[in-house]
Amino acid sequence: MTRTILPSRISSLGRLNRVLSGKTFDNSRFFLIVDENTYSHCLPILISHVDRLHQAEFIEVPAGEECKDPAIASQLWQTLLDSNADRDTVLVNLGGGCITDLGGFVAASYKRGIRHINIPTTLIGMVDAAIGGKTALNINGSKNQVGFFHQPAIVCIETSFLHTLPDAEIINGLFEMLKTFLIGNRSHFQSLCQTILSGSLDLQPGMIAACAEIKTAIVKQDPRDLGIRHILNLGHTFGHALESFSRHPGQTPLAHGTAVGIGLLCTLYLSVRKLGLDPSVLQNYRAVAEKLVTLPHYTLRDTEGILAYMRQDKKNSGGDICCVLLSDITAPVINLPVPENEIRDALLKIS
């Protein structure tokens, strides 16, 4: 896959600079949450463009899923308490989905809720994780088991942060974009598939914004995830289980985006069989997924381990495993009970 440098524009940080210098944040004290990568790659750019953040105190946490842990959240509460942080404190989360999930969780809970600003630095963050107000921690390796809805005061999307993001992380974000376009925009889905199949990881200008806008529009209709927002879970009932299962001994750990990408393949397979989705969508998507990653091969025994996680999914009801499937691109169907033998079949058909 080839990748040229994405267009650089620092305009979003310029806007953030103006907003933070305004009245709304007059009395605010800022704490910046970073991991080791965003500390070295993104923090210098951020503070050189946003005056109010020059004096911000920064807190570094471990990179990746390791930081979405109650023990880390507890350390952050303690740091805030030790610094006498009051309710005017603002947490600035500079990083990928792990940082925004953790920082959002701490903001939602500290003093019963303080403001936070999400500045996503990964593609997943820009198109998905930083938007929508869901925050979460993992419990003993099981993903996102505790969390709050807590909307960020600001989401600042600055695409120039992607310059330093490794290709593997771009690929994770591309899978989430494919998911969102499957739900919300046929022509963007087709054009993103074409770009990837041509061997390029370059995103057309506007694609990131278009994707972020689709998610924002869905969240606005159902901020607390009681109905229509479930469509954003396309591929995730499988994806979260595959991600958790991949941490088992002998398995290759899968990043969230890649797990969702493989979950989408299972989802489209079931959608063809159960809802009459055009099989060419599945074929096209399979070619795209194979271009981006090596698909895993699951044994019958593996499927039991994966099913154990799927049974814990928050979207299940009445003892059934429920999935979002598609009857067509942009026509998702939510809360569909899927028998376990069909889930096993989809998992065995991946590779």
- Are 141 and 69 within 8 A, CB to CB? no
Residue 351 CB, nearest approach to ligand NAD (Å): 23
Q: Are 221 and 228 in contact (CB under 8 A)?
A: yes
Decide the pairing of beta strands 322-328 and 331-337.
Answer: antiparallel
121 in contact with ligand NAD (CB under 6 A):
yes
Residues 16-75 that bind ligand NAD (CB under 6 A): 35, 37-38, 41-42, 63-65, 68
DSSP 18-56: HHHTSGGGTT-EEEEEEEHHHHHHTHHHHHHH-GGGTT-
The nearer residue to Zn ion, 143 or 150, going by C-beta atoms, is 143
By C-beta, is 33 or 277 nearer to ligand NAD? 33
Cα–Cα distance between 103 and 55 in angstroms, integer? 19
Closest CB to Zn ion among residues 117, 260: 260
The correct pick among 17, 76, 85, 101 for binding ligand NAD (CB under 6 A) is 101
Check binding of 158 to ligand NAD (CB under 6 A). Answer: no
Decide whether 261 or 296 has the Cβ nearer to ligand NAD: 261
β strands within the chain, DSSP E: 29-35, 57-61, 89-95, 115-120, 137-139, 142-146, 154-155, 322-328, 331-337
Of 63 and 275, which CB lies nearer to ligand NAD in the complex structure? Answer: 63
Size of the site for ligand NAD (CB under 6 A): 32
- Which residues are 35's β-sheet partners? 61
Q: Which residues bind ligand NAD (CB under 6 A)?
A: 35, 37-38, 41-42, 63-65, 68, 95-99, 101, 121-122, 124-125, 128-129, 132, 134, 143-144, 161, 164-165, 169, 172, 256-257
